[in-house]
Amino acid sequence: MDTQQQLTLDVTGMTCASCVGRVERALNKVDGVEASVNLATEQAHLSLADGVSVESLIAAVEDQGYHASVHADARRASTDDTAAAPDPQQAALAQLRQRLIVSAWLTVPVVLLSMVPALQFTHWQWLALTLASPVVVWGGWPFHRSAWLNLRHGTMTMDTLVSLGTIASFAWSLYALFLGGAGDMPAMHEWPWQASTMSPGHSIYLEAAAGVTTLVLAGRYAERRARRQAGEALRQLIALAPQQVTVLRGAQDAPVTIAADSLQVGERFVVAPGKPIATDGVVESGVTAIDTQAVTGETQPTRVGVGDAVVGATVNLEQRIVVRATAVGEQTQLGQMVHLVEQAQAGKAPVQRMVDRVSQVFVPVVLVLSVITLIAWLVLTGDPARSFSAAVAVLIIACPCALGLATPTALLVGTSRAAQLGILIRGPQVLETTRTVDTVVFDKTGTLTTGRMRVADTHLADPAERAQVWRAVLALEAGTGHPVGQALITHARDVLGDDATVAQVDDRTVLAGLGVRGSVDGQAVLVASPRGFDEAWQRDADDFAQTEAMTEVWVGWGGRVRAGIGLTDDVRESAAGAVRELQQAGLNVILLSGDRQPAAEAVGRRLGIAAGQVRAEVAPADKARVIAELQQAGHHVAMVGDGINDAAALAQADLGIALASGTDIAIESADITVLTDDLAQVPRALRLSKRTLGTIRGNLFWAFAYNVAAIPLAAFGLLTPMVAGAAMAFSSVFVVGNSLLLRRVR
């Protein structure tokens, strides 16, 4: 299909994979449209042929019962509207939060009145009805609406179960209060066991209807917020690139400021010191240092000159350069990272899908059993009251309230406990793969190491020149934004103490990819990597060779190397213990880094990671590829990282774990975030995630087992609706209690 434009729609109202499938199918039925819908970002990405109207696309989505609007950024770009457009996803989240708060306030007194006899007074049931009605009708409206839409399309999901259970409980309560005599009953509830021993009209179930609605709302709010945060990763990746760029045009190279997305391949643009580079390109003039950490994860900036390639969204640290664009838009390295993150996120399936599949069979079967019970009792006894009582008892005892609570309660308790331990788990989709993870991949810089460079060792040709060496270093490196330079300055000030004054520097020159030189107090001094010193300089190799230093810097003047300085970043104190604990648990631990092989292997040796398990000199896009290769080999992979360059790998992994000390984008791309720098939290996070998943599965099993065991009792008239409601409540209490055991996890 020849496409003319790309369009992104914000889609609200989707709750599960079946929703995504319906929206995607509806959009793809529109002629000239290719659509891909992402539940994590709540967006539809479309390629459009000429003549396709936005109105027809929005109508196709809304015909399925969802709401769609043009993505805010795209709308501002097309209309040049500088006003902030409302975010429909954030608005939907705020509305759900409002429903939850109001419902919770109204539900608490209903539950207390219904479950604590000492609080019951004359006509308390009417107050309970007054409080429960808005909870069931208004608070539960999202579930009722979704259930109706699912019914229209011939499917049943968790929303169908929740809506059915709450409506059944509430409808029976209305019947009992207005027609069955419950409105005039004594304050205390009666608790007969069989349908034949009391009038069914004295039973009300308002606490079940309101309580289940509120608890499921809480779970839905947590899930939606997690999806919203996951989608934020893509927006932050895109935001790295500058919005405007200064291009050189005409014979006189006149500077013209244009929108960055209007830049074309082959155009030349200016990058001032301290500014991000607009897109991938090649340096045409100027020499400078580029901070690539945001994109490559490297703490050591790269010095570039004419002919060197640069990457969009990296930052120019020192001097003005002119760059010729070689790639724009989705073809840039940043654009490819965005695509990788989006592609990996779109493939994740929530644990709720299993419940939805079962629900499609379970709910119709329950409805049929209820009808059969009603007919059988009418035929056998001819008593409408007893027949209706038994049928409703079947419906209520089978009401999947415990099933609806199984996932959200375990998730809420598990994630709350995780937060107490300094771990953030982003939803049920995280838990499905934790039990099968067999390989843990660690990024090196900023994850296993602190990412902060420091001087590790210094070798002096003449100890008496110590102060002179560091005074020269301080003078030449003063004002640099380079992490190596910053580490040298910090160490120089520590060495010099009160004498740390910056000397006069003349003819300071930055050497591309090497270092810096200049005249300090009339003496020509060179501070650079060993490659900056030719053989004419006299030195003793044994004195200046660094063993495991990440970066080696020499200082020289007068034709001699006066000092060799080794810099490195520290391994985190908790790293070795975390690696050892994971290995003892039978997990394969791999170190992944963009650094040089010797530096990466040196860190691996300190942590007990074999050289064969160290993958070094890996580019950002290749990190995700390494994860994919491990997965193709049959491994279930957890990735631990901290940088923007780790975002794609975190999303590609079966389980992404980010350190909160890292970038926001890495955190938002991850499934689990460790809120401290303690790497011991990584094995703890895996244990807690597996325990939470086990609790969810246990809850689901017992919820179904309870239904299977109790339905026959109700069908044979051995349970009244009142007792059925009590049993249903007990099953919910059991599920909640089982979930609360997660608070004991250490």
Q: Active-site residue among 159, 280, 356, 443? A: 443
DSSP 448-507: IEEEEEEEEEEEESSGGGHHHHHHHHHHHHTT---HHHHHHHHHHHHHHGGG-PPPPEEE
Helix (H) or strand (E) holding 325: strand 321-325
Q: Say how far apart CA 24 and CA 44 lie, in whole Å.
A: 8
**End-to-end Cα spacing for the chain:** 55
Measured between alpha carbons, how far is 506 from 516 in angstroms, rounded to an integer?
A: 12
Q: How many CA atoms lie within 13 A of 295 on its CB side?
A: 27
Query: Rounded CA gap, 37 and 342, in Å?
Result: 10
Q: Which residue has the tokens 């500014």?
A: 275
Which amino acid type is present at position 257?
T
Q: Is 629 left (phi over 0), alpha (psi -120 to 50) or beta?
A: alpha
Q: How far apart are CA 488 and CA 469, in angstroms?
A: 11
Extract the tokens encoding 149.
Answer: 């839409």
Please report which helix (H) or strand (E) contains residue 58, including its range.
helix 54-62
Choose among 737, 734, 684: nearest CA to 709: 734
Residue 142 CB neighbour total at 10 angstroms: 22
Task: With both helix axes pointing from N to C terminus, report the angle between 88-115 and 141-152 in degrees, rounded to the nearest 10.
Answer: 110
The single-letter code of the amino acid at 54 is V
- Between CA 292 and CA 220 the distance in angstroms is 39
| Pairing mode, strands 254-259 and 244-249 | antiparallel
What angle (nearest 5°) sits at the alpha carbon of residue 682, between those of residues 679 and 686?
A: 170
The two structure tokens encoding residue 106: 């109204």
Q: Give Cβ neighbours of residue 556 (< 8 Å, ≥ 6 apart).
A: 525, 526, 533, 537, 539, 562, 563
Angle at 600 between CA 599 and CA 605, to 5 degrees: 100
Instruction: Return the half-sphere exposure (C-beta side, CA atoms, 13 A cut-off) of residue 608.
Output: 13
Q: Is 443 a catalytic residue?
A: yes
Three-state secondary structure of 151-166: HHCCCCCHHHHHHHHH
Q: Is the dihedral of CA 205, 210, 215, 217 positive or negative?
A: positive
| 63: number of Cβ within 10 Å | 10
Q: Which residues are catalytic?
A: 443
